[in-house]
Amino acid sequence: MKVLDSMLVNREYIVSDECSYTDLAFVPWAIIATSLLDGVERAEIVSEAPHYSAWLDRLEARSAAANVLEERIETMATVPPEKGFAKLLQRG
């Protein structure tokens, strides 16, 4: 996250100030990476990587990205807990 945070210091998105495929391709990674930081609150991420956090908020606010994330969460919720995939997509 810190690497992405440093890339986002002077721009809104990874490549430029416009959302691109590169940004959207990172959404699943960002969700999983955040979920794997078990016990780390969003406030800690914001303080440690404020540009990354703002970028993720911008991406999550896009209707297309929000729809895809919602579909993914619904689909992964059907995976049995013992498989461990559903935990990766839990937000919070």
What pLDDT sits at residue 7?
Answer: 92
Q: What is the pLDDT of residues 39-85, one digit of tens each?
A: 666 667 767 889 988 998 898 888 877 777 788 778 777 877 666 55
Residues in the chain, how many?
A: 92
Domain locations in the chain as residue ranges: 2-88
What pLDDT sits at residue 92?
Answer: 46
Per-residue three-class SS string for 31-68: HHHHHHCCCCCHHHHHHHCHHHHHHHHHHHHCHHHHHH
Alpha-carbon 34 to chain mean position = 7
* pTM for this entry: 0.67
Task: Round to whole Å and give the CA distance between 53 and 1.
Answer: 9
Task: Round to whole Å and give the CA distance between 52 and 42.
Answer: 11
